[in-house]
Structure 1
Amino acid sequence: MQTFLVGGAVRDALLGRPVQDRDWVVIGADPASMLAAGFLPVGQDFPVFLHPQTHEEYALARTERKTAPGYHGFAFHAAPDVTLEQDLARRDLSINAMAQDAQGRLIDPYGGQRDLAAKVLRHVSPAFAEDPVRILRLARFAARFTDFSVAPETLALMQAMVAQGEVDALVAERVWQEISRGLMEAKPSRMFEVLRDCGALARLCPELDRLFGVPQPAQHHPEIDSGVHALMVIDRAAQEQSPLELRYACLCHDFGKGLTAPELLPRHIGHEGLSAKLAKQLSERWRVPNECKELAELVAREHTHVHQSTGFGPEARLRLMERCDAWRRPERFALMLWACECDARGRLGLEDRDYPQRQQFLNDLARLQALDLSAVSAQALAEGKTGPAIGRAVQAARLAALMA
Structure 2
Amino acid sequence: MKSYIVGGAVRDALLGAPVNDHDWVVVGATPQEMIDAGYKPVGADFPVFLHPQTREEYALARTERKTAPGYHGFTFHADPSVTLEQDLARRDLTINAMAQEADGTLVDPFGGRDDLRRKILRHVSPAFAEDPVRILRLARFAARFGDFTVAPETQALMRAMVEAGEVDALVPERVWQELSRGLMEAHPARMFEVLRGCGALARLLPEVDRLWGVPQPPAHHPEVDTGVHLMMVLQMSARLAAPLTVRFACLCHDLGKGTTPAEMLPRHIQHEQRSVELLRELCARLRVPVDCRELAEVVAREHGNVHRSEEFGAKPLMRLLERCDALRRPDRFEEMLFACECDARGRLGMEEQAYPQRARLRRALELARSVDSAAVAAQAAERGLQGPAIGAEIHTARVQAIAEGL
For the superposition of Structure 1 and Structure 2, which TM-score range results when normalised by the shorter chain? over 0.9
> Which amino acid counterpart does residue 296 of structure 1 have in structure 2?
A
> Which amino acid counterpart does residue 131 of structure 2 have in structure 1?
D
Tell me how far apart the structure 2 counterparts of residues 50 and 128 of structure 1 sit (CA, whole Å).
28
Structure 2 counterpart SS, 1:371: coil
Tell me how far apart the structure 2 counterparts of residues 91 and 388 of structure 1 sit (CA, whole Å).
63
1:232-276 per-position Cα deviation (integer Å, ceiling 9, x unaligned): 101100100000000000000000000000111101000000001
Task: Name stretches of at least 5 consecutive residues in structure 1 with no aligned partner.
Answer: none
Match of 1:83 in 2: 83
> Which amino acid counterpart does residue 59 of structure 2 have in structure 1?
A
> Which amino acid counterpart does residue 108 of structure 2 have in structure 1?
D
Structure 2 counterpart SS, 1:123: coil
Tell me how far apart the structure 1 counterparts of residues 283 and 55 of structure 2 sit (CA, whole Å).
35
Structure 1 counterpart SS, 2:268: coil
Q: Does 1:7 pair with 2:7? A: yes
Match of 2:344 in 1: 344
Match of 1:402 in 2: 402
Q: How many residues align?
A: 404
Match of 2:26 in 1: 26
Listed as ranges, the matches of 1:98-117 within 5 Å are: 98-117=98-117
More displaced stretch, 232-241 vs 386-395: 386-395
1:255-306 per-position Cα deviation (integer Å, ceiling 9, x unaligned): 0000000111101000000001111111111111100000111100000111
Runs of 4+ in 1 over 2 A off after TM superposition: none
Match of 2:137 in 1: 137
Structure 1 counterpart SS, 2:277: helix
Tell me how far apart the structure 1 counterparts of residues 335 and 95 of structure 2 sit (CA, whole Å).
37
Match of 2:226 in 1: 226
> Which amino acid counterpart does residue 52 of structure 1 have in structure 2?
P
Q: CA deviation at 1:374?
A: 1.2
Tell me how far apart the structure 1 counterparts of residues 263 and 311 of structure 2 sit (CA, whole Å).
27
Q: Does 1:290 pair with 2:297? A: no
Listed as ranges, the matches of 1:168-187 within 5 Å are: 168-187=168-187
Q: CA deviation at 1:20?
A: 2.2
Tell me how far apart the structure 2 counterparts of residues 221 and 45 of structure 1 sit (CA, whole Å).
50
Match of 2:241 in 1: 241
Tell me how far apart the structure 1 counterparts of residues 283 and 342 of structure 2 sit (CA, whole Å).
21
Match of 1:393 in 2: 393
Tell me how far apart the structure 1 counterparts of residues 378 and 214 of structure 2 sit (CA, whole Å).
55
Q: CA deviation at 1:228?
A: 0.6
Tell me how far apart the structure 2 counterparts of residues 369 and 33 of structure 1 sit (CA, whole Å).
65
Tell me how far apart the structure 2 counterparts of residues 176 and 20 of structure 1 sit (CA, whole Å).
24
Q: CA deviation at 1:383?
A: 2.1
> Which amino acid counterpart does residue 163 of structure 2 have in structure 1?
A
Q: CA deviation at 1:376?
A: 1.1
> Which amino acid counterpart does residue 272 of structure 1 have in structure 2?
E
Tell me how far apart the structure 2 counterparts of residues 208 and 21 of structure 1 sit (CA, whole Å).
35
Q: CA deviation at 1:356?
A: 1.1
Tell me how far apart the structure 2 counterparts of residues 32 and 293 of structure 1 sit (CA, whole Å).
46
Task: Name stretches of at least 5 consecutive residues in structure 2 with no aligned partner.
Answer: none
1:307-345 per-position Cα deviation (integer Å, ceiling 9, x unaligned): 111111111111111100000011111111110110000
Listed as ranges, the matches of 1:309-324 within 5 Å are: 309-324=309-324
Tell me how far apart the structure 2 counterparts of residues 6 and 107 of structure 1 sit (CA, whole Å).
9
Tell me how far apart the structure 1 counterparts of residues 39 and 65 of structure 2 sit (CA, whole Å).
26
Tell me how far apart the structure 2 counterparts of residues 122 and 114 of structure 1 sit (CA, whole Å).
11
Q: Does 1:210 pair with 2:210? A: yes
Tell me how far apart the structure 2 counterparts of residues 287 and 385 of structure 1 sit (CA, whole Å).
45
Tell me how far apart the structure 1 counterparts of residues 382 and 73 of structure 2 sit (CA, whole Å).
71
Q: CA deviation at 1:384?
A: 2.2
Tell me how far apart the structure 2 counterparts of residues 9 and 95 of structure 1 sit (CA, whole Å).
11
RMSD: 0.7
How high is the TM-score relative to the length of structure 2?
Answer: 0.99
Match of 2:17 in 1: 17
Identity %: 67
Structure 1 counterpart SS, 2:217: coil
Match of 2:194 in 1: 194
Tell me how far apart the structure 1 counterparts of residues 371 and 318 of structure 2 sit (CA, whole Å).
14
> Which amino acid counterpart does residue 338 of structure 1 have in structure 2?
F
Q: CA deviation at 1:386?
A: 1.6
Q: CA deviation at 1:396?
A: 1.0
Structure 1 counterpart SS, 2:77: strand
Tell me how far apart the structure 2 counterparts of residues 219 and 213 of structure 1 sit (CA, whole Å).
17
Listed as ranges, the matches of 1:16-165 within 5 Å are: 16-165=16-165
